[in-house]
């Protein structure tokens, strides 16, 4: 029986294809649905007032939020309730791919419908860039684009499939990255279609 596909390095970002097998993906989706019941998805706006094309929620000690006051981490959902705990399966995934004893304190969950995308950006609202960012894809394929630490740097792209994990660490921790488009109908994991992206990080 063949094992997972070999690891890919994309401009310093580690791509771990098939890191989460199909047998475990449905259980993770159930975990994330429980997170969303406790902390419902919101469609936030940027500091400039533009509504984002993805819906977001979080788990853990902190959640990432954006509104007209800026990008930041908050200990509460916009409705004023605490974020739910990070599901244990995701904590185990973090430990497996990073080898770190310290657990993440934020689990950001983004839902992309068929038309959603995410422009090139850096993850730089955390207190210490020495900790990695671990990103898990669930659902439809997504075209992931990665550049350097300057927005003007050249970029490369790869299709992320359900169960793939990307790790931004070291020199690639502040790499610009984004999602250009989805491949609708490429996965049957989510009955409504689309893609869930989970990012685990140390925020505080």
Is 186 inside a domain boundary? yes
What total of structural domains would you count in the chain?
A: 1
Give the domain range for residue 155. Answer: 8-201
Is 2 inside a domain boundary? no
| Three-state secondary structure call for residue 83 | coil
Is 51 inside a domain boundary? yes
* pLDDT score recorded for residue 6: 87
Q: What is the pLDDT of residues 23-54, one digit of tens each?
A: 999 999 999 999 999 999 999 999 999 999 99
Is 91 inside a domain boundary? yes
* pLDDT score recorded for residue 9: 93
Is 98 inside a domain boundary? yes
E-strand stretches of the chain: 8-10, 13-16, 55-60, 63-67, 70-74, 106-112, 118-121, 133-139, 141-146, 156-160, 165-168, 177-183, 195-201
Is 34 inside a domain boundary? yes
* pLDDT score recorded for residue 4: 66
* pLDDT score recorded for residue 5: 78
Is 1 inside a domain boundary? no
Q: What is the CATH number of the domain that holds 106?
A: 2.60.120.590
E-strand stretches of 86-139: 106-112, 118-121, 133-139
Q: Which two tokens stand for residue 133?
A: 């960012």
Ranges of residues in the chain with a pLDDT under 70 are 1-4
Question: What's the whole-model pTM score?
Answer: 0.95
Is 174 inside a domain boundary? yes
């Amino acid at each position: 029986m063949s094992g997972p596909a070999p690891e890919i390095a994309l401009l310093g970002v580690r791509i771990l294809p098939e890191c989460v097998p199909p047998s475990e993906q449905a259980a993770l989706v159930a975990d994330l649905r429980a997170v969303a019941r406790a902390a419902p998805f919101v469609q936030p706006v940027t500091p400039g007032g533009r509504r984002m094309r993805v819906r977001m929620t979080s788990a853990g000690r902190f959640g990432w939020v954006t509104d007209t006051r800026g990008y930041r981490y908050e200990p509460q959902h916009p409705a004023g309730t605490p974020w739910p705990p990070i599901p244990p399966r995701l904590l185990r995934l973090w430990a497996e791919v990073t080898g770190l004893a310290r657990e993440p304190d934020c689990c950001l969950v983004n839902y992309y419908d068929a038309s959603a995308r995410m422009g090139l950006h850096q993850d730089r609202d955390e207190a210490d860039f020495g900790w990695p960012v671990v990103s898990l894809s669930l659902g439809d394929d997504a075209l992931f684009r990665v550049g350097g630490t300057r927005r003007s740097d050249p970029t490369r792209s790869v299709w992320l499939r359900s169960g793939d994990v990307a790790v931004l660490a070291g020199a690639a921790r502040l790499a610009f990255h984004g999602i250009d488009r989805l491949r609708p109908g490429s996965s049957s994991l989510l009955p409504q279609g689309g893609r869930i992206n989970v990012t685990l990080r140390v925020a505080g």
